[in-house]
Amino acid sequence: MSTTVPARAGSLPASLRHFPFPFTDDVYRYSTNVEPAGRPVATAAGQWGEPLVDIDGHYREELTERAEILRRDPTRHAVLPHMRVAAWDAALTLLRELAAAYPDDMTLTREADGRWRWENRLLGLTQRFVYADDASLPDEPLRWVSGQVQEDIVLLDQRDQLYGDAGVVTFAADWSFGFDVGMSFLEIHGPVPRIRQEGVITRAHEFLKRLQPHQPYRRTNWTLTVGRRLDVSTETYPDWGPDRELVQQVDNETFGRLVHLRVEVQHLVRLPDSGSIMFLIRTYLVPFEDLVAVEPWRLRTAMVLAELPEDMADYKGVIKYKDRAARWLRDHGTRGGGEHPE
């Protein structure tokens, strides 16, 4: 996926320079699409992909939004009783990753008495804790650590199959963590068209069961969202569902401002102590009016949307406005912005 970064990439906003543009072809189909994590990916606008946990300019704002959602709706967080060890495993793994990726802002140290000391200078926070001692943190450990990262987190227990038995998910794209918790990996993917018949999900399941500690993988997923709205979960459908109708009526300028390409970078990590799998979902949103600054992205996204089969468009919730979205992109060329689409 290596590409030539255009000369004017430096003048693009960080949201584009680090945007994980998901399309590698003019036609999109579901696939297992996993690759080893950690390798930077060059794009037509810059680069993404180095850290497992990614902090950007929306850090505080998104953490505040997550805290508010959790306060309003406690079902976005669950840790089934047998997942306590995995929750601690996930918390320490995430803190280690943050400290390694952002040493200027975050430090994790082991003190002489065996306690851990976490310092997050971006939040002005210092927290001491004893590993696996729930009373040493102000909150359940998974919920607490979800206040340090922008990623949503799901933990899967591996028995005969993988089961989504814990998590904190506040930014779900049209699904419900509270409904899915406790389900198997195959059940969770039940609503997705094609993937069972095409063997995508059984291959993914076999792959995940063999995942090794310290060898994280990643994949991307995408959809469209109306407005810069992270929380498009089933629970809040009445707040955002009607926008899919309303966006058809707005003028062209408003359409480009409202419609966002929504990309999830998903990391898959085998946790070292518990053996559970940690699934991280980091969501990025770029409005079409900004996306068109990168010419190859404009053209490719238009092609993908125009070609997207009905069942996939319907499942993604974009069927009513994806043809207008494709036309809008075709009609809004700005020229320049790179040679290659990735």
Structural contact between residues 70 and 157, judged by C-beta atoms closer than 8 angstroms: no
- The span from the CA of 327 to the CA of 324, in Å, is 5
Structural contact between residues 137 and 88, judged by C-beta atoms closer than 8 angstroms: no
Q: Within a 10 A sphere around the Cβ of 10, how many other Cβ atoms?
A: 9
191 lies in the binding site for ligand HEM (CB under 6 A): yes
Catalytic residue among 194, 203, 219, 257: 219
Is residue 219 part of the annotated active site? The answer reads: yes
Q: Which is nearer to ligand HEM, 107 or 221 (CB)?
A: 221
- The span from the CA of 41 to the CA of 20, in Å, is 8
Q: Which is nearer to ligand HEM, 77 or 316 (CB)?
A: 316
209 lies in the binding site for ligand HEM (CB under 6 A): no
**Helical ranges in 129-242 per DSSP H:** 141-145, 177-180, 185-188, 200-209, 237-240
Q: Least separation, in Å, of the C-beta of 268 and ligand HEM?
A: 6
244 lies in the binding site for ligand HEM (CB under 6 A): no
Q: Which is nearer to ligand HEM, 27 or 130 (CB)?
A: 27
Copy the structure tokens of residue 272: 């070292």
**Among the listed residues 19, 144, 255, 279, the single contact to ligand HEM using CB under 6 A:** 279
34 lies in the binding site for ligand HEM (CB under 6 A): yes
Q: Which is nearer to ligand HEM, 194 or 340 (CB)?
A: 194
Angle ∠(14,19,21) on CA atoms, nearest 5 = 155
Size of the residue set binding ligand HEM (CB under 6 A): 21
| Residue whose entry in the numeric block shows the structure tokens 């039940």 | 190
End-to-end CA distance of the chain: 6
188 lies in the binding site for ligand HEM (CB under 6 A): yes
282 lies in the binding site for ligand HEM (CB under 6 A): no
Chain residues that interact with ligand HEM, rule: CB under 6 A:
30, 32, 34, 154, 156, 164, 175, 180, 188-189, 191-192, 195, 200, 204, 219, 221, 223, 279, 315-316
Which residues are identified as catalytic?
Answer: 219
